[in-house]
Structure 1
């Protein structure tokens, strides 16, 4: 019944790597998000979003980009960020691994519905773009004094 338990394939990881390559060849190099709030591996630029009752803060980690080449727009509650990160390499270079992103990018983020598109500021410093979007005054909770 358990006669083959002593026989273990010594090249198990090699076979798994071969299967991964075949799947990649079949479906392409797709690395999907691992959770509902995650983005695909390699998404550029990396983004953190936080909020308070007064505003929403978006931090875009985009080193090596000329801030004049960034285009930030807000329509209703969709924040769109586009730009390009140009990197030049000699043609004779052969890469063994490339992890640094170069080229055009576009990210579209859904912000809370109560943001005010007329009250947006953006500042770029040390490779981080900080976008502040104020919340609309009409939706802020108002304290009512009980007498």
Structure 2
């Protein structure tokens, strides 16, 4: 008889174990960050023509953002200014979820990304970065003769 009981659904137990492990730092991904609470949060997607990155960075001055690509790594850095104290003077703070201060995120781009074809814009607190793909890597139809 085993000392371990997994119930009838092994997959739900594995899911629970993964959630518990993520509490302690999680598994590293292709993003060069494994810390919980990393700022800014990002989404990465792809189209036939480009790699699309959205960095959620509300409260960041777009003029203070620095975006660079070197050796297949996209770097986003800047600083989120501190806000004036909004709590009353006698309040003891025991939690703060809003990040303030300097930040840097590094994203590994796929090999088909073309570092010479990058566009970036800041809209409504979101940094939208589009990295074009190399022509040789785009899908194309082959005509059968």
TM-score, structure 2 normalization: 0.73
Aligned to 2:61: 66
Alignment partner of 1:75 is 2:73: no
Segments of structure 2 that go 5 or more residues without pairing to the other structure are: 1-22
CA distance in structure 2 between the partners assigned to 1:74 and 1:33 by the alignment: 26
Aligned to 2:144: 146
Aligned to 1:12: none
Q: Is the alpha carbon distance of 1:137 and 1:70 closer, same or farther for their aligned partners in structure 2, counting shifts above 3 Å? A: same
Aligned residues: 118
Aligned to 1:5: none
Runs of 4+ in 1 over 2 A off after TM superposition: 33-39
Q: How does 1:39-54 map to 2 (within 5 A)?
A: 39-54=34-49
CA distance in structure 2 between the partners assigned to 1:106 and 1:35 by the alignment: 16
Tell which has more relative contact order, 1 or 2 (C-alpha 8 A, sep 6+).
2
CA distance in structure 1 between the partners assigned to 2:57 and 2:79 by the alignment: 10
Match of residue 129, structure 2, among 123, 128, 131: 131
Question: Is the Cα contact below 8 Å between 1:34 and 1:40 reproduced in 2?
Answer: no
TM-score, structure 1 normalization: 0.72
Larger Rg: 1
Q: Give the CA deviation at 1:32.
A: 1.2
Q: Give the CA deviation at 1:40.
A: 1.8
CA distance in structure 1 between the partners assigned to 2:129 and 2:68 by the alignment: 11
Taking only aligned residues, the RMSD between alpha carbons, in angstroms, comes to 2.2
Alignment partner of 1:33 is 2:31: no
